[in-house]
């Protein structure tokens, strides 16, 4: 071992490589902020500079908010992701409890179907689900954005695995107190499962906030647009002309999740890598 170096060569090399990589990872974010802060004339100049000579962030933001109803789109994002998550929990938790703690005919089959369902990529069912919503007259509505995702087989699986680890004594004690099976799900299991539900919530909200494919398919109306759809339309209308406002709009759209992530990194990383199980 040559650890006797007076200068910690290995440590310096580690930081050098990691900082170089970090520069690449952060480049788009830095470039986005930089461009969003520049006036038009500086954006369209071949000379590279990060710090604007003249700060125009506020103008670009104002123009972005004037050209697109960004607040409405952010609100749509909140409405859709929160509705999806709440409904997913309402559907998945009871099913997961029954699969983990109750005995009934068909339980093994149902669980096998849940495991199979996890393997199906969302794009695979898009055409029939679209036709279904078309038949039901639900296209181009919040319902079209939310309904297909109310069932999360992954959520059922995750919560079932968690409920398996909850001691039966807890369930028995609740039954002794005369709480019904439905009551047990919400009064006993849900409080016990808060960490798992939080992780699943982060996973679900991030996935649906960032989803582009499904809203693109089912939406027409401008006022229903979700944040990713809003950026894409903004880009199609403005690209080539007003990059400043476009970058400002992109900043606004990614801000909620990125800020939440910076405040609770551990939880976010945990939640999002849950998909690793998929």
Partner 1 sequence: MSDGAITIDAAVVPARTARRSLPAHGSRRTYAAYALVAPGAALMLIMLLGPLAGVIALSFTDYQLGAPHFSWIGLANYQDLFADRVFWTALRNTLTYVVVVVPGAVIAGLAIALLIQSGTSLRSLYRTIYFLPVMATLIAMAVVWEFMLHPQFGLVNGLLRNAGLPAFAWLQDRSTALYALCAIGIWQAVGFNMVLFLAGLVSIPKQLYEAAEIDGASSGWARFRLVTWPMLGPVTTFVVVISGIRSFQVFDTVHVLTKGGPSKSTEVLIHTMYTEGFEFFRSGYAAAITVVFLVFVLALTLIKSRLADRGVHYT
Query: Which 127-186 positions form the footprint of partner 1 (CB under 8 A)?
Result: 127-132, 134, 147-148, 150-151, 153, 156, 168, 171-172, 175-176, 180-182, 185
Q: Which stretch binds partner 1 (CB under 8 A): 53-61, 62-70, 78-86, 124-132?
A: 124-132
Query: Between residue 209 and residue 268, which ones bind partner 1 under the rule CB under 8 A?
Result: 209-210, 212-213, 216-217, 227-229, 231-232, 235, 239, 243, 246-247, 249-250, 253-254, 257-258, 261-262, 265, 268
Q: For partner 1, which is the closer residue by CB, 6 or 276?
A: 276
Whole-number Å distance between alpha carbons of 160 and 106: 16
CA distances from 82 to 64, 209, 214 (A): 25, 10, 16
In angstroms, what is the minimal distance from the CB of 106 to partner 1? 9
Taking the complex as a whole, how short is the minimal distance between the CB of residue 120 and partner 1, in angstroms? 6
Q: Which residue has the tokens 């650890």?
A: 3
The tokens describing 113, both together, are: 């179907």
Q: How far is the CB of 195 from partner 1 (least distance, A)?
A: 17
- Convert residues 15-54 into a mask of x (bound to partner 1 by CB under 8 A) and - (unbound): x-xx--xx-xxxxxx-xx--x-------xxxx-x------
Question: Minimum CB separation from partner 1 for residue 55, in Å?
Answer: 19
**Residue 162 CB, nearest distance to partner 1 (Å)?**
14
Contact present, 145 and 151 (Cβ < 8 Å): no
Unique residue bearing structure tokens 């539900």: 197
Question: Rounded to whole angstroms, how far apart are CA atoms 218 and 139?
Answer: 6
Can you tell me the distance from the alpha carbon of 144 to that of 129, in angstroms, rounded to the nearest whole number?
9
Number of H helices, E strands in the chain: 16, 0
Using CB under 8 A as the binding rule, whether residue 98 contacts partner 1 is answered as yes
> Nearest CA to 103 among 153, 193, 171?
171
């Amino acid at each position: 071992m040559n650890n006797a170096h007076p200068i910690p060569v290995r440590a310096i090399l580690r930081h050098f490589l990691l900082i170089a990589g970090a520069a690449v990872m952060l480049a788009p974010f830095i470039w986005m902020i930089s461009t969003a802060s520049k006036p038009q004339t500086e954006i369209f100049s071949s000379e590279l500079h990060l710090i604007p000579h003249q700060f125009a962030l506020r103008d670009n933001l104002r123009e972005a908010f004037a050209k697109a109803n960004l607040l409405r789109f952010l609100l749509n994002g909140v409405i859709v992701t929160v509705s999806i998550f709440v409904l997913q929990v309402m559907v998945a938790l009871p099913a997961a409890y029954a699969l983990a703690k109750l005995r009934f005919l068909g339980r093994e089959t149902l669980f096998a179907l849940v495991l199979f369902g996890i393997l199906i990529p969302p794009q695979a069912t898009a055409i029939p689900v679209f036709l279904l919503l078309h038949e039901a007259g639900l296209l181009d509505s919040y319902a079209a954005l939310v309904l297909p995702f109310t069932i999360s087989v992954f959520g059922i699986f995750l919560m079932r695995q968690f409920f398996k680890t909850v001691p039966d004594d807890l369930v028995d004690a609740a039954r002794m107190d005369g709480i019904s099976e439905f009551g047990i799900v919400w009064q006993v299991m849900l409080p016990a499962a808060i960490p798992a539900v939080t992780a699943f919530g982060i996973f679900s909200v991030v996935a649906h906030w960032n989803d582009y494919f499904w809203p693109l398919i089912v939406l027409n109306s401008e006022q229903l647009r979700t944040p990713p759809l809003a950026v894409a339309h903004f880009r199609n209308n403005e690209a080539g002309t007003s990059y400043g406002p476009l970058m400002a709009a992109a900043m606004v759209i990614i801000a909620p999740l990125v800020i939440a992530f910076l405040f609770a990194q551990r939880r976010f990383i945990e939640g999002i890598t849950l998909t690793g199980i998929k």
